[in-house]
Amino acid sequence: MQIASTNKHDTMKSKPTFFISSTIYDFADLRSAIKYYLEQQGCVVLASEFNDFGQPLDEHSYGACLKQIQVADYFVLLIGSRIGGWYDKGDRISITRKEFRAAYELHAQGQLKIITFVRADVWTVKEDRKVLVKYLEKLDLNDAAKQQISNAPSKAVEDAQFIIDFLEEVGRNKETAEAAKSGEPPPSGNWIYSFSKFEDVISVLQSQVFAGLAKVHAANRRILRNELLRMLTSILSKSTEGKTYFPEYRIDELAKKYPIQGDDIGKKISIERHDLEMLFMIMVDQSRKISTLQVIERVLATDTFLEYDDESGNLREHPIYDALISLQSEVFDRNNFDRKLISEIGLALQAHPKVQKIAIPALQLLPIQGLFDRSVNIVRICKAILLHFDGNQYVAPKLRHRSPITDQKQQLDHERVAIADVENFINQ
């Protein structure tokens, strides 16, 4: 995942870490929604009210929060109407404000990025108070009275002056004014985004954090879609009426009518002439090689179909990732079909022009049935992926067995070594 990395993390980091800072009570639903959204993007989210925050039992929760900020790549600050818990009540420093100051120190060192959101109604209170203060300056009132009026309680905020001061600090207003006077570079990390609904927050995260990522994934899906469509052109057929089809039902009929048993190896199987002609025609049609898998290989080398797993803390493959791996294997086996069998079946038909049943060695039929099975699987996998790209829920297709020998399929599948078997072997 190519998300902007910071100096303390190398560019190979695949799970960007977010720390969500805010008062808990009034942001509970939003914090949960943001956490869910970010984790769906493959990110790690540190939110103190969740069990996966990693709370040390021998440390105060405030200290644990400040320590966790140090491992974050992004600090998401939510400012609302409440102060929250005091970190230092005498100096009017809330724990949220303390977290922000700790984050800004890391930001100044190039180790963390800050994204700040403020509720739209709270931002309106701030702007209204600025107008009110200017108006009070014109009135013949003493400073104490002006201060009392400007700090009057509001339904929108718990402590208007505290929230305004906090927003001024986050916006680096004083530093910006001083930089303008001195000609020094202005401070960074001072953007504040006003929001009124969840979509406002997500749009900022998408543009500031995942800029280009969604485009890369969309581009990968688009070029992969084109490759799958081209792949199907090598397998599908077109009738004289111009209808595109795949002869799966014919393949099924032949497989059911002439099943290959383990005892048939070394023997010949008698096939009716019209069935053998049908088998020959399908074989000619399905023997065309699939020319390229370059896009699939390239997409598999990216994180387009990787997801972050909360339980294991690792990236896991999306079902489409596994489907593409299977598709590679099916195409490889299909392309390795021995095309000399086509001429052998053709010669058998020519040698017995009037015979209604022709005996064919089972060893010839095995690779032919294997070719048909591979084609069926390729069509099913491509169709399932393309339907998903069109907005449908992905449904893993049922694939044919690797061996066409009907009475040995279960045994062969049982004996085949899977990745899970290899992992168990390594851990023995």
Give a yes or no: residue 7 inside a domain: no
What is the mean predicted confidence (pLDDT) over 237-251?
90
What is the mean predicted confidence (pLDDT) over 238-242?
87
Please tell me whether residue 45 adopts helix, strand or coil conformation: strand
205 has pLDDT over 60: yes
130 vs 363, which has greater pLDDT? 363
What is the mean predicted confidence (pLDDT) over 342-352?
90
Of 131, 195, 129, residue with least CA distance to 160:
129
Number of Cβ within a 10 Å radius of residue 25? 9
What is the mean predicted confidence (pLDDT) over 198-221?
76
Q: pLDDT at position 409, please?
A: 53
Q: Tokens 């010949």 — which residue?
A: 268
Do 199 and 239 fall within a single domain?
no
146 has pLDDT over 80: no
Q: How confident is the model at residue 288 (pLDDT cuts 50, 70, 90)?
A: confident
**From residue 375, how far is each of 231, 233, 282, 285 by CA, in Å?**
11, 12, 11, 11
Give a yes or no: residue 5 inside a domain: no
Do 71 and 101 fall within a single domain?
yes
169 has pLDDT over 50: yes
- Could you list the residue range(s) of the whole structural domain that residue 108 is in? 17-208
Do 217 and 196 fall within a single domain?
no
The stretches of 234-361 forming alpha helices (DSSP H) are: 248-257, 273-286, 294-300, 319-335, 340-351
Q: Tokens 């543009």 — which residue?
A: 207
SS3 content of the chain, % helix, strand, coil (to 5): 55, 15, 35
Do 126 and 166 fall within a single domain?
yes
Do 301 and 367 fall within a single domain?
yes
Distance, CA of 319 to CA of 302 (rounded, Å): 15
228 has pLDDT over 90: yes
6 has pLDDT over 70: no
Q: Tokens 């099924």 — which residue?
A: 252
Give a yes or no: residue 1 inside a domain: no
Do 154 and 30 fall within a single domain?
yes
Do 263 and 201 fall within a single domain?
no
The residue from 169, 190, 208 where one domain ends is 208
How many distinct structural domains can be found in the chain?
2
Exposed, middle or buried by CB within 10 Å (0-12, 13-18, 19+), for 224? buried
The listed range with the strongest mean pLDDT (13-17, 55-59, 139-143, 387-391) is 387-391
Q: pLDDT at position 411, please?
A: 58
Q: pLDDT at position 136, please?
A: 73
Kindly state the percentage of the chain with pLDDT values over 70.
Answer: 85
The residue from 160, 178, 208 where one domain ends is 208
pLDDT in tens, 8-47: 443 334 468 899 999 988 898 999 999 988 887 778 899 8
Beta bridge mates, 88: 93
156 vs 302, which has greater pLDDT? 302
Kindly report the CA angle at 360 between 357 and 365, in degrees rounded to 5?
125
Q: pLDDT at position 416, please?
A: 65
What is the mean predicted confidence (pLDDT) over 292-305?
82
Residue 76 has φ and ψ, to the nearest 5°, of -100, 115
Which segment of 214-218, 285-289, 408-412 scores lowest on mean pLDDT?
Answer: 408-412
The residue from 192, 208, 224 where one domain ends is 208
Do 109 and 43 fall within a single domain?
yes
Do 172 and 95 fall within a single domain?
yes
105 vs 6, which has greater pLDDT? 105
Distance, CA of 161 to CA of 179 (rounded, Å): 25
Give a yes or no: residue 6 inside a domain: no
Q: pLDDT at position 32, please?
A: 92
- Non-local (6+) Cβ contacts of 127 within 8 A are none
Give a yes or no: residue 356 inside a domain: yes
Do 194 and 219 fall within a single domain?
no
Do 155 and 236 fall within a single domain?
no
Q: What does the CA dihedral 341, 346, 350, 354 come to, rounded to 10 degrees?
A: 100
Q: How confident is the model at residue 3 (pLDDT cuts 50, 70, 90)?
A: very low
Give a yes or no: residue 125 inside a domain: yes
Give a yes or no: residue 11 inside a domain: no
Give a yes or no: residue 104 inside a domain: yes
Q: pLDDT at position 11, please?
A: 32
What is the mean predicted confidence (pLDDT) over 180-205?
88
Length of the chain: 428
Q: Tokens 């749009």 — which residue?
A: 203
Kindly state the percentage of the chain with pLDDT values over 90.
Answer: 34
Which segment of 1-5, 60-64, 216-220, 368-372 scores lowest on mean pLDDT?
Answer: 1-5
Q: pLDDT at position 1, please?
A: 34
Which segment of 235-244, 300-309, 414-423 scores lowest on mean pLDDT?
Answer: 414-423
Do 390 and 241 fall within a single domain?
yes
Residue 36's domain is classified under what CATH number?
3.40.50
Number of Cβ within a 10 Å radius of residue 335? 15
Q: pLDDT at position 219, please?
A: 76
What is the mean predicted confidence (pLDDT) over 137-154?
72
